[in-house]
Amino acid sequence: MPAGHGLRSRTRDSFSRPFRKKGTIALTTYLRTYHIGDYVDIKVGNRIIRKRIHVRVEHVMPSRCTEEFRLRKVKNDQLKAEAKAKGEVISTKRQPQGPKPGFMVEGATLETVTPIPYDVVNDLKGGY
């Protein structure tokens, strides 16, 4: 019979514990709270894959991919509340970083470099 090509096919080693790392697992693994839709990181071989799939708790750890977004969201809410109190309208959209400002180089001296003439006769003798 041919091999199956299902979602978790050929994962016998992917989700197994490493050599000499078997046994009881730390309690913090089981005490973490996961909600529906949370991103988790799964280690498969030498890669860390960000997934939203149903696997056992021992194989996952909470992903940090949305930390920056959550902090930015709280900061934007504070800025909007302050602006509303002042009666202003602000934009909280992220702007791309523009080019660096130009500047003038001062105090630099110019140095003229001239080539050394090539002398065939001295080169054959082995010196200048």
27 falls in which pLDDT band (50, 70, 90)? confident
**Side chain identity at 103, as an amino acid letter?**
F
**pLDDT tops 80 at residue 34:** no
Phi, psi of 75 (to 5 degrees): -65, -40
For the segment 5-31, the average pLDDT, to the nearest whole number, is 79
Percent of the chain clearing pLDDT 70 (strictly above)? 81
Range with the largest mean pLDDT of 30-34, 91-95, 113-117, 122-126? 91-95
**pLDDT tops 70 at residue 2:** no
- pLDDT, one tens digit per residue, over 67-118 is 999 999 999 999 999 999 999 999 999 999 999 999 999 988 888 999 887 7
For the segment 39-56, the average pLDDT, to the nearest whole number, is 68
Six token digits for residue 113: 């470099």
Torsion of CA 68, 73, 75, 81, to 10 degrees: 180
**DSSP letter string, 99-126:** PPPP----S-------PPPP-HHHHHHT
User: Is the Cα dihedral 46, 48, 51, 57 positive or negative?
Assistant: positive
**pLDDT tops 60 at residue 48:** yes
pTM: 0.44
